[in-house]
Every structure is written in C-alpha cells, then in structure tokens.
C-alpha cells in the first residue's frame, strides 16, 4: 500500500508541473474564483467541483479540506468563513503544498484580510495532523478514493469533527466490487479507478466511523470500465452531539412518500403510524434530510390519505419498459419501501422499469437515489409485464 501512496503522490506532483489533466470531472465556477484566486492554482484543480458543503458554512467556522492540492477549495472556504474563521488544508504532496502556501498570502490580500486564515499541513488522510474535535465542516474533493485504507480515513474524520460537526465529501464509487486485477494495478489508482469502493461499502464505512444522517447531495455518471460503472457522488453526514438535547418530541409519524423506512439507529416506521422514539432518535430525525419525511410530536399523530401531510407517489397501472436503469438508495435510510412493494437497501443497485424510474424522479424520492444505466446498447421499447403471475408493478 505504501507503493500505491507514493505512485499517487508522484502522479499529482507531475501533473502540477506539466498541467496534465487528471481523472475527476471538474465543474468549478471559474469566473467567480478568478476574482481572488491566482491562475497558478486554478489550472491544477482536479476535484469533482466546488464542495457543496461550503454553501452551509457560517462566519467563524473551522473547515478542514482533506487532500487540499493547490488550495482552490481552501481559498473558497477562506472567503466564506471570513477573517474570524479558520481553514486547514492537508496534502501529502510537497509540490502541491508549495503552490498552496505560496498563494495563500496573495488570496488573503485579494480578500482584504490582514493575514491568511489558512494553514496548509503535510499529512496523510488516514493520520491527519489535526486535533480531536476541532473541525465544524470537513470537505474532500475526489481524494479519499485514492487512500488505500478508507475506513481509517473515515475514523480520522470522525475524530477531528466537533460534536455537532458535519462532512460533505465528493468521490468516485462503483456499482460493483472492483476486481483484484484493477486493485493491484498501481497505475490506475491515480485514475480514481482501482481504489473505488461500492456505494454500499463507502456509506457503511462512514456509518461505521460513527456518522449519522448520511445522505446524497448529487450524483452523476463518470466512466464504465470493463463493465463496472464508476460514478461521482457527493455525500453529507453528521457527528451528533455526545448528549442528545432534551426535546418534547416523543413520537415520529412517517409522512411518506416511502411506505416504510428503517433509520440508521434501526427504528422501523410505517407511513401514517406513530412510532415512539428516544431522544437520540429525535435528534437524528430532526436533521434536514430526514425532518421533511416525519411529523415529530410529543403526542401520537396518526395520518391517513385524507391528511394533507400524507405523501405518496403511485405509478400508473400500465405495463413496464425495461431500459437498463438501476437505482441505488443513498440515505438517509438504511432501507426503504415504495408503494409498488420495491424494497431498496442503501447502496445496493436494484433494476427498475420506466414506471419506477418516473416515481424515483419525483420530488420526494429524487434526492435519495443515484441512478445508473447498465444497458450497453439500445433496448426494446416493447412494454412487458414484470412479475411471474402476469401482473405488473
């Protein structure tokens, strides 16, 4: 694994000096960033786009960027947290650190700061030179994919996050396990191929480290290599406070559109049926990605289809078209069922027909699913039944 780390570092150092284009798709708003970030930094920015988590920062917060490279995301974070905030960038490549450090005072001057509020530290993602409980927001832009031991990285993220802190990370994942001939091809690690986990394993690693409320922000296809679909995802999750705040909430009623869900603490909810919950669960369900799906109350609240808070999306009663689509539930539930008796388990690809695809593209469902298409050629447009008894979902 040390050989892999060294080859990745050498690859990015070479790219910084030659201008080589790296693996990840970029979607930065260069017009905005050019107003205060030097061109030397902009031309070596290799992430999947400006981290979505930066939209959530407040003045005075501390932001950590894992794999800060030339510093582009740190410089944007510096602007957003203001002079009273603090930004830490970690990278393992000396060439990148030199570029970032050289440009830090220039960016500070362009922002009108008396001094830079950024530190660039040399270190590894799986052994970060950051104090425990020091960070409000962790960002990482298509970097953790390159680490050989990602579970160790996730544990480090949880360690340095403050209670009540959060992460928003972009990365490349795969729809199936990467085979050994790719895992042991060190040249392909720098291409964001060999190191990719499945979405199931990636989210499980974050959850295993202690994060909750893990959910999808965006996803998009990237490449298909030897039948393996690689796609980019941006995920957010939280380190809940060590002690749950006292809340009058005692019951949670699932509104929908799911007919049944299981949260990350193992509590099962059926739409419309009040479920007694603990204070820890109340804190979890109060998080943004979950709150809209529930009625939280000190008393039992039962819902039915006549209640305006009840939500459901049912497909039309027609036959299906199978077009190669697969859906992957990406949180914040570990399991969820729709009104067509599909049971989605987090991270696991499930083949879906055109009717189910249309359901999952509606407002209540769409934020929680990554969709890929495995069809390698055009498929028949002939409608068909999708169950052995001749019925259709």
pLDDT in tens, the chain (393 residues): 455 555 555 555 444 454 554 555 556 777 889 999 999 998 877 665 677 789 899 999 999 999 999 999 999 999 999 999 999 999 999 999 999 999 999 999 999 999 999 999 999 999 999 999 999 999 998 889 888 899 999 999 999 999 999 999 999 999 999 888 888 776 665 566 778 899 999 999 999 999 999 999 999 998 898 899 999 999 999 999 988 788 899 999 999 999 999 999 999 999 999 999 999 999 999 998 999 999 999 999 999 999 999 999 998 888 889 999 999 999 899 999 999 999 999 999 999 999 999 999 999 999 999 999 999 877 666 655 555 444 455
Looking at the chain, which residues constitute the CATH 3.40.50.150 domain(s)? Answer: 2-238
Q: Are 325 and 221 in contact (CB under 8 A)?
A: no
Note whether 350 and 197 are within 8 A (CB). Answer: no
For residue 73, report the phi and psi dihedrals to the nearest 5 degrees. -70, -35
Find residue 326's DSSP bridge partners: 351, 372
Query: What pLDDT score does 191 carry?
Result: 62
pTM over 0.75: yes
How far is it, in rounded angstroms, from Cα 344 to Cα 96?
A: 42
Tokens of 188: 């392909």
What pLDDT was estimated at residue 13? 45
Exposure on the CB side of residue 293, measured as CA atoms within 13 A: 29
Q: What tokens does 143 get?
A: 């970097």
Q: What is the structure's pLDDT at 137?
A: 98
Q: How far apart are CA 4 and CA 15, in angstroms?
A: 17
pLDDT score of 44: 79
Q: What is the DSSP string of 360-372?
A: HTSTTTGGGEEEE
Annotate 158-220 with three-state secondary structure. Answer: HHHEEEEEEEEEEEEEECCCCCHHHHCCHHHHHHCCCCCCEHHHHHHHHHHHCCEEEEEEEEE
CA distance 254 to 247: 19
CATH superfamily assigned to domain 2-238: Vaccinia Virus protein VP39 (3.40.50.150)
């Amino acid at each position: 694994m040390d050989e892999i780390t060294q080859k990745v570092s050498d690859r990015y150092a070479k790219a910084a000096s030659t201008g080589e284009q790296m693996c990840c798709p970029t979607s930065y708003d260069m017009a905005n960033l050019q107003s205060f970030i030097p061109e030397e930094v902009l031309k070596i920015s290799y992430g999947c786009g400006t981290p979505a988590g930066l939209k959530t920062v407040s003045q005075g917060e501390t932001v950590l960027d894992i794999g800060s490279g030339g510093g582009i995301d740190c410089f944007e974070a510096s602007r957003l947290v203001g002079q009273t905030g603090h930004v830490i960038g970690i990278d393992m490549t000396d060439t990148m650190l030199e570029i970032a450090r050289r440009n830090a005072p220039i960016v500070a001057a362009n922002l009108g700061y008396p001094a830079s509020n950024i530190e660039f530290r040399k270190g590894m993602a799986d052994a970060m030179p950051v104090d425990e409980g020091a960070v409000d927001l962790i960002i990482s832009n298509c970097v953790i994919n390159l680490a050989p031991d990602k579970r160790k990285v996730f544990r480090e993220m949880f360690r340095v996050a403050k209670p009540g802190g959060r992460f928003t990370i972009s990365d490349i994942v795969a729809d199936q396990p990467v085979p050994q001939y790719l895992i042991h091809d060190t040249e392909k690690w720098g291409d964001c191929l060999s190191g990719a986990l499945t979405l199931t394993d990636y989210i499980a690693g974050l959850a295993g480290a202690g994060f909750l409320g893990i959910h999808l922000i965006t996803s998009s296809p990237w490449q298909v290599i030897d039948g393996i679909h690689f796609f980019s995802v941006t995920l957010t999750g939280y380190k809940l406070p060590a002690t749950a705040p006292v809340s009058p909430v005692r019951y949670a009623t699932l509104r929908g559109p799911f007919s049944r869900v299981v949260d990350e603490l193992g509590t099962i909810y059926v739409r419309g049926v009040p479920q007694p919950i603990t204070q820890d669960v109340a804190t979890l369900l109060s998080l943004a990605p979950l709150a809209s799906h529930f009625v939280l109350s000190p008393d039992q609240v039962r819902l039915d289809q006549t209640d305006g808070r009840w939500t459901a999306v049912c497909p039309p009663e027609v036959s299906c078209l199978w077009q190669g689509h697969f859906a992957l539930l990406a949180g914040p539930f570990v399991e969820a069922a729709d009104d067509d008796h599909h049971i989605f388990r987090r991270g696991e690809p499930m083949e879906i027909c055109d009717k189910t695809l249309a359901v999952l593209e509606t407002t209540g469902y769409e934020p929680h699913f990554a969709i890929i298409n495995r069809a390698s050629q055009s498929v028949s447009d002939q409608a068909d039944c999708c169950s052995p008894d001749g019925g259709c979902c």
